[in-house]
Amino acid sequence: MILKGKSAIVTGSTSGIGLAIAKAFAAEGASVTINGFGDAAAIETERAALEATAGATAYYSNADMMDPAAIEAMVKACSDATGGPDIIVNNAGIQHVAPIEDFPPDQYEKIIKLNLSAAWYLTRAVVPIMRAKKWGRILSTASAHSLTASPNKSAYVMAKHGIAGLTKTIALEVATAGITVNCISPGYVWTPLVENQIPDTMKARGLTREQVINDVLLDAQPTKQFVTPEEVAALALYLCRDEARSITGANLSIDGGWTAQ
């Protein structure tokens, strides 16, 4: 087990990509802290399953990733319990789709706080811990929208371009500390975040649900297939391996060829 004895925090991990990454880490022996909102019983079921898989304690944090103090408290709890984290994945995110003149300012603020600022605060909190250990893995779920743009997603595209910039900057700052910093940029992955933006896209573009799926979402991906959460998780796991120690500051696409166009 390549992560035995390591601990990880994965934000936004009660479903979708984050949960898949948490499962991949647990399968390799890591103690995992999951984070996010949802049904309490369902979250406990997932936490217990992670613990059984890892053979190490799994934790759940309900930290609000828009609250810097809550982020620091989550890191302290992980440090007190495990001595870590050794690995973080900045994955929490939300989306809103609308032309800029109709874009609600409160939605803009939420997207920037959760998709971008939370990653900055969590990274800031864990770097001293990783420096002391001389080992660490900082990963972020970016998006194909960290490399390209789509209409009606101004806040999200801003945030994901910011994640790519944060990744490169911190990679340079910790380059000699045994810490790597990378982001993964999936195309469209069938997750609640993607499914929930379909109604807004239908409204913004005057399309049916089927047209949004086939003519908007999958139109961008030459493979004409959704990326799976498990594919993203497999890449995240590889980046935690010692063999990946020279991969840092990278933005790795996993998008069915979207950004090759």
Q: Which active-site residues does the annotation give?
A: 156
d(CA 67, CA 71): 6
CB-CB neighbours of 128 under 10 Å = 11
In the chain, beta strands by DSSP E: 7-10, 31-35, 59-61, 87-90, 136-141, 179-186, 251-254
- The residue among 91, 27, 33, 86 whose CA lies nearest residue 59 is 33
228 DSSP assignment: P
183 and 163 Cβ atoms separated by less than 8 Å: yes
248 and 175 Cβ atoms separated by less than 8 Å: yes
7 and 83 Cβ atoms separated by less than 8 Å: yes
Side-chain half-sphere of 238: how many Cα atoms within 13 Å? 11
Give the full edge-to-edge strand order of the sheet including 87-90: 59-61, 31-35, 7-10, 87-90, 136-141, 179-186, 251-254
